[in-house]
Amino acid sequence: MAETDRFTKRFHIFLSSALFAIGLFIFIGGFYFNENYFLNYSPDKTLKSSTIESIHNLQIGLMGASLMFFLLVLVILVNRNKSYSFIGRHKKLLQNFTLLIIVVIIIFTASEIILRAIYKETTFAGGFGPGSLQFNKKYVQVNNDGMRDRSFAVNKPANTIRIASIGDSFAFGSGIKNISDTYSKSLEIKLNDLNNGKKYEVLNFGIMGLSTDDEIILLKDKALKYSPDIIILGYVPNDFINVERGDYREHWTILPGGFWLRNFFFTYALAELRINRILEDFNVKDTGLEVILRKINSTKNIEYNEKLFLELAKITGENNISVLIANFPAIYSLSNYSLKSLNVFVENTSFKNGFYYLDLTPVYAEYNESELIVNKYDAHPNEKGHEIASIKILEKLKNGGLV
């Protein structure tokens, strides 16, 4: 009798826990993990359509899991006697399974605690990972026009030369804590130190994840109203857009829902990174550089990207704006750089459209790569990389008679 009472008590504890879990899932899915929550971690305080879709899928998934869990509990309650009988027959198996789950949770929790203590705000390339989210929340502020910069008056002050710095995460300053250490703001300081009787403003319009077509839209929608005299477009290898059919994914996920797992758990994010590197080592998947090379070897892609440069030339020509293309390399194997063909494309297309051109590949190749990157997981330029870029951009502007 005592054994039965103990069993019944445990059964009721299980049902109570299950109902609590259902309520928690409903709360998290329906009310907590909404778009406003993730806006707190967005570096430019906007969400891409793909991210919004992922948020909605997460909410649907959590609500669906809650419903399935509720139905399971309901079936157990309706068939209580059969449930007692089933649990009694498989008591040992269920105990072992429960123990396994508890052990896995303990190991994962311990791993997560240790990794969070070690890595804290460590950023990952691509902007994913809990470290990147915490970094953005702590160090990144944007003005009322979505720029990682101070606010500027729309009307340009007298005797002022305005430069719009446009680009993706390189221009934005991914992994850079202080905005003054980004190449656009470092350039602004250097320009105003020239003491040539003019004032210079460099407006940082860099936003993580943009490609050339996005940057042209940003130019038309935001940058032009500030009447820039010069545009510096920070070009990086993944700005070359693929319009060919085919899957050029650079990242493979271990489990369904990997987007969320890698953004919330260091354990999963680091394991997934390691597995991707192993797959690349065994030629099971292409590296990021190999993916870009495949894109470049496409006439259709070349023609499309040439049209984007032509559109940029048309817009800037109509507004009497000079353009400097600052070509940043992927900071990897610079001594034997595999994307030289992309550099040739960017250089030729820039000159064809009357743009000034600066290739930072040979400049960065003079340094050890570890000196230039944020960390071993994030190959964006660090403070030194940005400083070098600002020096070379200033030289190019001066030699071109633009400042």
Contacts of residue 108, Cβ cutoff 8 Å, sequence gap at least 6 = 267
CA distance 78 to 376: 55
Q: Which two tokens stand for residue 394?
A: 């200033």
**Distance between CA 264 and CA 115 in Å, rounded?**
12
Position 36 scores a pLDDT of: 72
Strand 373-375 and strand 378-381: pairing? antiparallel
Label the pairing between strands 230-235 and 199-204.
unpaired
Which residue in 206, 226, 191 sits closest to 149, CA to CA?
206
Report the pLDDT value the prediction gives residue 391, as an integer from 0 to 100. 98
Enter the tokens of residue 257. Answer: 């829902």
Helix (H) or strand (E) segment spanning residue 380: strand 378-381
State the pLDDT at residue 82. 72
Pick the closest to residue 364 from 386, 345, 342, 343 (CA basis). Answer: 386
Supply the pLDDT for residue 213.
Answer: 94
Q: What is the mean pLDDT of each run of 10 residues along the chain (403 residues)?
A: 56 63 62 68 70 74 71 70 70 84 94 94 86 89 92 96 97 96 98 94 94 95 97 96 70 74 90 89 85 90 97 98 98 94 97 98 97 96 98 98 95
What is this structure's pTM? 0.84
Q: Is 126 in contact with 330 (CB distance < 8 Å)?
A: no
| Residue 342 CB contacts under 8 Å (≥ 6 apart), including other chains | 237, 240, 292, 296
Nearest-angstrom CA–CA distance, 389 and 220 = 25
For 113-120, the CB contacts below 8 A with 24+ separation are 115/266, 115/267, 115/270, 116/266, 119/266
Q: 295 CB contacts (<8 Å, ≥6 apart)?
A: 240, 241, 242, 244, 248, 301
Q: Which residue is associated with the tokens 């099971």? A: 284
Tokens of 387: 């400083």
Q: Give start and end residues of each alpha helix (H) in 120-197.
A: 130-139, 169-172, 183-192
Measured CA to CA in angstroms, residue 226 lies from 60, 152, 223, 337, 341 at distances of: 42, 8, 6, 37, 35
Q: 256: burial class by Cβ within 10 Å (0-12, 13-18, 19+)?
A: exposed
| Cα–Cα distance, 246 to 140 (Å, whole number) | 35
CA distance 129 to 262: 5
| Per-residue confidence (pLDDT) for residue 20, from 0 to 100 | 66
Query: What is the Cα–Cα distance from 254 to 234, expressed in whole angstroms?
Result: 33
Q: Residue 205 in contact with residue 173, Cβ under 8 Å?
A: no
Distance between CA atoms of residues 257 and 240, nearest Å: 28
Cα–Cα distance between 204 and 190 in angstroms, integer?
15
Distance CA 291, CA 301 (A): 13
What is the distance between the alpha carbons of residues 334 and 367, in angstroms, rounded to a whole number? Answer: 9
What is the three-class DSSP state of 222? Answer: coil
